[in-house]
Amino acid sequence: MLNQEACVNSLNFTVPKLGEAKITSPIKMSTKTGDNMANYVRDDEFILYNIDARPGSYTIEYTSHDLLEKAGPREKIFFSPGHVHAGIVTCGGLCPGLNNVIRALVRTLWYSYGIHRISGIRNGYRGFLPQYGIPVMPLDPDIVDDIHTKGGTILGSSRGGADVEAICDSIERMNLNMLFTIGGDGTQHGAFRIAEELERRNQKISIIGIPKTIDNDLSFIQKSFGFETAVSEAVAAVSSAHTEAHDAINGIGLVKVMGRESGFIAAHTALAINDVNFVLIPEIDFDLEGEKGLFAALKRRLELRHHAVILVAEGAGQRYMESEQQRDLSGNRILGDIGLFLKKAIRDYFENQGMETSIKYIDPSYMIRSAPANPNDSIYCARLGTHAVHAAMSGRTKTLISMVNNTFVHLPIEIAINKRNTVDPEGPLWRDVIGATHQPMLFRND
């Protein structure tokens, strides 16, 4: 959490709008407090971003640098529902909950606002590009009725394809009034550039993002959808690795989970199961050799307990990889396989030590990505999709739906894509991981 001074000096949570909302919403709610029905959310309802406080200090006046706008249905909306054509696109890698978000978007558009022109853009941003010839998928409640029980996305996905001018040309040809972009950092970078280009063309088209990053690494996003499911599935993999390790002679269970630049899945998994002895994440460098390196610590663990479980995030230890720094179509660095590297390196080390070991390596990454959302994620996805529709209908744009301090809020895309969210090596999460695993604070000889 940033301190108050940093918030005031560097952040601006003002949400862009297409214009004044003058149309009465078709959603019937109360405008008064205390009625037995839900209330509209007013435009002057905010939450405080920085909730850190010290006795004797408080802030009297708040500005857009401190406050986040609450999400939810407004009494006045910008778009006339009968004229709206909405688009939905899913981009990047798969993630539990994609279908849940699509379903929530479609049902809210259809049933809450009476919008019946909903187009699913297939295979990510490529679906906008004429050279691929990918037809759109008309969406309605019947089509999305049971998709939340399945993994993946009915719209398909892909990386890259963010040709902003060509995408905006297609949006204009399709007469879209709003576009919901479901994806992670690269997707939302593209969404922001699309919104900027549409604004340059004087087009009143709402671009609303739903943050999808299984690594939970978008800034100012308390929790991205699919993360809880990913941790649940990773726990099952660690449980299997622990059983294999425990029942073997000097057994070592090695599990690799997702986390390119952020080790949140690894950290939360270790806390969830408490069978992990060593957690390696991208945020903290580690030595393999030497008295204080990983191998020596692993040897001491085997001599004491005769089994060990190592959990490694995919982006950890990349300095050991012979990578050519290549990039995928989304601009992400192509990583070396730290799991396979560690499996061989650990085996070689103990062979040189003359110590018998049994290593079992589990990589559940793609099983996790393609899994259906668990109940907690399903609820979260449903609420994200609903709030995204309310935001678009009220005329917000360049906006993500986020949860901050347990409240759904509107967040400017520009702020969220500014930098990645990472595990703080000196923060409470990593402190708790150290407490659960009893591993050294650092595997460093210096």
Q: Hey, which residues are catalytic here?
A: 215
Q: In the β-sheet with 278-280, what is the strand arrangement from edge to edge? A: 278-280, 307-313, 251-257, 358-362
| Residue 401 near residue 208 (C-beta atoms within 8 A) | yes
Alpha-carbon span 425 to 446, nearest angstrom: 17
Q: How many CB atoms lie within 10 A of CB 417?
A: 23
101 with 86: CB under 8 angstroms? Answer: no
User: Please, where are the H alpha helices in 128-184?
Assistant: 164-174
d(CA 279, CA 407): 31
Q: Give the 3-state secondary structure percentages of the chain, helix then strand then coil, rounded to 5.
A: 35, 15, 45
- Using CA atoms, how far apart are residues 384 and 391, in angstroms rounded to an integer? 11
CA distance 355 to 250: 9
Neighbours of 109 (CB within 10 A): 29
Instruction: Say which DSSP state 134 is in.
Output: P
Q: Which of 266, 345, 341 is nearest to 309 (CA)?
A: 266
CA distances to 86, 177, 354, 398 from 208, rounded to whole Å, are 11, 11, 59, 6
Residue type, 4: Q
Q: Kindly state the tokens that stand for 278.
A: 């060593």
Phi/psi for 148 (5° steps) reads -70, -10
The Cα 228–Cα 230 span in angstroms is 5
The pair of structure tokens assigned to 232 is 């649940």
Give me the torsion for CA of 367, 413, 203, 158, rounded to 10°: -20
Note the helical H segments in 306-417.
Answer: 338-352, 365-369, 375-393, 413-416
